[in-house]
A and B are shown apart, each in its own frame.
Chain A
Amino acid sequence: MVITCANAAFGYEGNTAVDGLNFEVKSGDYLCIVGENGSGKSTLIKGLLRLKKPQSGSVRAGDGLSPAEIGYLPQQTAAQKDFPASAFEVVLSGRMGARGILPFYSRRDRAAADENLRLLGIESLRNRCYRELSGGQQQRVLLARALVATKKLLLLDEPTAGLDPNATADFYELVAKLNRGGLTVIIVSHDVASAVKYASHILHLRKTQLFFGTTADYLTSDTGKLFVGGERDA
């Protein structure tokens, strides 16, 4: 068990954003967290990253997973889009959490950064400027940075927002490939169609937990029928 949520609730300053969370993520799972805007997805992510304590219930990490071992791909901020940094510098910064108090990167850190650039097929971008890359390339660089930080659990927050359909499909394929290689993946998305296509498990939120289970069960459940059907109509 990588993560177990037991009756957990998260919120801000006394207001509960999402509650009734009961789910578990096993090693090698591909969990997709779906829900509309304001359904508590981002709050739950903060909780999973231990940036926020549960108001009630508990979140337990198994297999000796520490926060430094979660590979996180946050939503891009406006400041990043015109940031002068090479792809290599960005990827290397993924090792920062593991460095602790030590000020400089070691040769092993640099090797790990190069290795992950190769793994994602972007070694040709190594010395390119981050702000001059396309959206899809930027996401790959950030994914490489997340992988440099960990090989256990990958947490992606709306990774395909702002990507064109081709880049989106490429990105999902890439994540699916990593997942087949044994990496546990948790992805937050409002793109239900892709979620159903790739994920092994679905967690559906609307201020509370509407559904948790395998993708096959989700498609036959009332929540799933309504949501997936509704998406297709829209």
Chain B
Amino acid sequence: MLSTLFEMFSYTFLVRAVVVGLIVSLCAALLGVSLVLKRYSMIGDGLSHVGFGTLALATAMNAAPLTVSIPIVVAAAFLLLRISENSKIKGDAAIALISTSSLAIGVVVISLTTGMNTDVCNYMFGSILAMSKGDVNLSIALAAVVLVLFLLFYNKIFAVTFDENFAKATGVKTELYNMIIAFLTAITIVLGMRMMGALLISSLVIFPALTSMRVCKKFRSVTVCSAFVSVICFFIGVVISYIYATPTGASVVIVNIIAFLLFWAANLTIGRIKK
């Protein structure tokens, strides 16, 4: 087992991937708690599709993927947030609209430029080879921003998540904090998307939060627990994908599913014992 790990980490590209992946898992899990509780789970999914479109555009324009993706996805996040707050088109429909649109645009752009090839498959389902050295540095810097902002605004995020009306009435600038949540989510999604894949990245946001909510009863313990669950699941997923040569993103999601089922069962058992 240990020798497998040593062998695995003798590849530089794998070390990079694991570093970026662990950071992204941590950020996604922290934000996920708030997003799931605010009923915004689908925003993560919508944003990853927008991200797919922007990756395709970046490839077509021969630009660095992250520099194109981040501003567009952040803009889309603000837009989705605005729409789900007040609009004639309801939130879930708006998200479906935007995500399918960007998917379609992305596919057309790719087929016009490079043609449908393995690139598309990599965008959709992720590739462990996608991380360059620059990406790692950028990821670490952005992740630091996400973590610091999250810690600083932890109490505000709780207040806004639990009861937006109350928070607003007592003078908390809820729009600002909603925008911060959307901004951090957008960055996290873009960072993790190329490894996990556009279709799978939102699982990093949703699964850890739901998993820890099976067992934990306090907001703080849910947050801490989902951070651990997410990081551990990612690591196990990467190791499995290395040993069995399965796609990384999908392997991580499968480990997350197993964790969810385990926690669920644990909760049922605890409930039985208490009765």
Contacts and interface: CB of A to CB of B under 8 A. Distances in A.
Interface of A (DSSP majority class): mixed
A104 B155 contact: yes
A66 to B, nearest CB: 7
Say which size band chain B's interface belongs to: 20 to 34
B219 interface: yes
A67 interface: yes
B154 interface: yes
Given A84-B216, A89-B220, A93-B162, A103 B170 contact: no
B147 to A, nearest CB: 14
Contacts of B220: 89
Contacts of A79: 37-39
B169 interface: yes
A159 interface: no
Interface in A115-142: 127-129, 132
Given A84-B218, A89-B218, A89-B219, A51 B168 contact: yes
Contact of B158 (A66, A72, A85, A155): A85
Interface string B141-162: 0000000000111111011001
Contacts of A51: 168-169
Nearest to A86: B218
A101 to B, nearest CB: 9
Given A86-B218, A132-B217, A72 B169 contact: yes
Interface in A91-110: 93-94, 96-99, 103-105
Contacts of B37: 79, 83-84
B134 interface: no
A98 B222 CA distance: 26
B165 interface: yes
B159 A67 contact: no
B152 A74 contact: no
A90 B163 CA distance: 9
A83 B159 CA distance: 12
A80 interface: yes
Contact of B170 (A72, A80, A104, A129): A72
Contact of B172 (A49, A85, A97): A97
Nearest to A71: B170
With most chain B CB atoms within 10 A of its CB, the pick from A51, A80, A93, A94 is A93
Given A90-B162, A96-B156, A103-B152, A84 B169 contact: no
Contacts of A99: 155
A67 B39 contact: no
B163 A77 contact: yes
A72 B167 CA distance: 9
B170 A149 contact: yes
B154 A103 contact: yes
A70 B219 contact: no
A20 B167 CA distance: 29
Contact of A129 (B155, B163, B166, B217): B217
Contact of B213 (A49, A66, A84, A86): A84
Contacts of A127: 218
A94 to B, nearest CB: 7
A41 interface: no
A145 interface: yes
Contact of B162 (A70, A85, A104, A129): A85
A146 B165 CA distance: 12
30 contacts: A49-B168, A51-B168, A66-B171, A67-B169, A68-B170, A70-B169, A70-B170, A72-B166, A72-B170, A74-B169, A77-B163, A79-B37, A79-B38, A85-B162, A86-B217, A93-B162, A94-B170, A96-B155, A96-B170, A96-B172, A97-B167, A97-B171, A97-B172, A98-B170, A103-B153, A103-B155, A103-B156, A127-B218, A132-B217, A145-B166
Given A84-B222, A103-B152, 14 more contacts: A70-B169, A72-B165, A72-B169, A72-B170, A79-B38, A83-B37, A84-B217, A84-B219, A86-B218, A86-B219, A89-B158, A89-B220, A93-B155, A94-B170
Interface of B: 37-39, 151-156, 158-159, 162-163, 165-172, 213, 216-220, 222
